[in-house]
Amino acid sequence: MPTTDTEPDRHVPVGAESFRSSVETHTNAGDERQHMPTAHNGSVAIEYAVHGNGPTVVCCGSAGLGAWQWSYLVTPLAREYEVVVFDYRGTGESDAPDGPYTVADLTADLDAVLSEHGARSVHLLGAGLGGVVAVEYARRAGRVESIGLVGTPTSPSDVDFDALDRLRAPRDDPDALERSLSVAFAPGTVESHPDEISRIVEWRGADDAGPAGWDGQLAAMREADLTDLYEVTTPALVFHGVEDAIVDPEAGRQLAEQLPRGEHRAVESGHLVHVEQPQVVADELLAWLDEQRA
């Protein structure tokens, strides 16, 4: 896990309160555009934010977690790309309609964001449930140029739902939020990074899903079914933590094998690879995206 105090040039957090307050910081930098408009999928309002300039990368998050989860990746990616981060329905500032939600609902939310934003072609980066959404969107949309996947299951049988439920905690209970993170990271990570964990707990309290959002998104996770992937010919880079306690690490290898143009990267991490090992993800992803653009 990064330490923002010692590596500010690589890991400037932009999640929850920092995610929102960073608008002024990036605007003052003069070379990055950032704003927070709202898209609509029917009556459901979906909030999103835009960082940087260049080809568009859209981040689709893990179930129940707010935009903070992309905190450590936005800064390095936004040096070369326009990075779009959105709150799923039920999360952050987006509307939280009663569930259950479906993968189709969340895919339509993504489509609403892209339509509002006006992106003609995008690179998708999805974590957990967000990876399922990214693949399903690429399956039917011609505007997707590449897919990055983090801790993504191929089916519900890959997911330990008891473990995933342990990640859920009341937003107004910092102690419970901290305890719940143990299942998301490799053993010992929470204990060895108290300052970062304290920061993440604060972000979670501001930005994670409430009860309706958690229930709805977990329902969508239970219907995840990435089969018949032979038709998804989009280049895909699959990251998976070797100590993932929520999604079977073997699922990442299988997913990469089933995608016609899939590549696999095993990372020394738990489930939230993009939070625990963001520099690894950023370096590998940027190099791979450069190859796709060559």
Q: How far apart are CA 239 and CA 263, in angstroms?
A: 9
Place 294 in a pLDDT band, splitting at 50, 70 and 90. confident
User: Mind listing the domains of the chain with CATH numbers?
Assistant: 16-293 (3.40.50.1820)
User: What is the C-alpha to C-alpha distance for residues 78 and 233, in angstroms, rounded to an integer?
Assistant: 26
pLDDT band at 87 (very low <50, low <70, confident <90, very high): very high
Looking at the predicted structure, is the pLDDT value of residue 4 above 50?
A: no
| pLDDT tens per residue, range 29-53 | 333 444 578 999 999 999 999 999 9
CA atoms within 13 A of residue 142's CA, in its CB half-sphere: 0
Per-residue pLDDT reduced to its tens digit, 172-208: 999 999 999 999 999 999 999 999 999 999 999 999 9
Residue 15 three-state SS: coil
> Which pLDDT score is estimated for 17?
35
The closest alpha carbon to 125, from 55, 31, 215, 218, belongs to: 55
Mean pLDDT of the chain: 89
pLDDT digits (tens, 9 = 90+) for 105-148: 999 999 999 999 998 899 999 999 999 999 999 998 889 999 99
What pLDDT, on a 0 to 100 scale, did the predictor assign at position 293? 79
Kindly provide the b/e burial profile for residues 79-93, where b requires at least 16 CB atoms within 10 angstroms of the residue's own CB. bbbbbbbbbbbbbbb
Tokens at 61, concatenated: 């998050």
The Cα-based distances of 283 to 77, 134, 175, 280, 290 in angstroms read 9, 21, 33, 5, 11
Query: Which band of pLDDT confidence, cut at 50, 70 and 90, is reported for residue 3?
Result: low
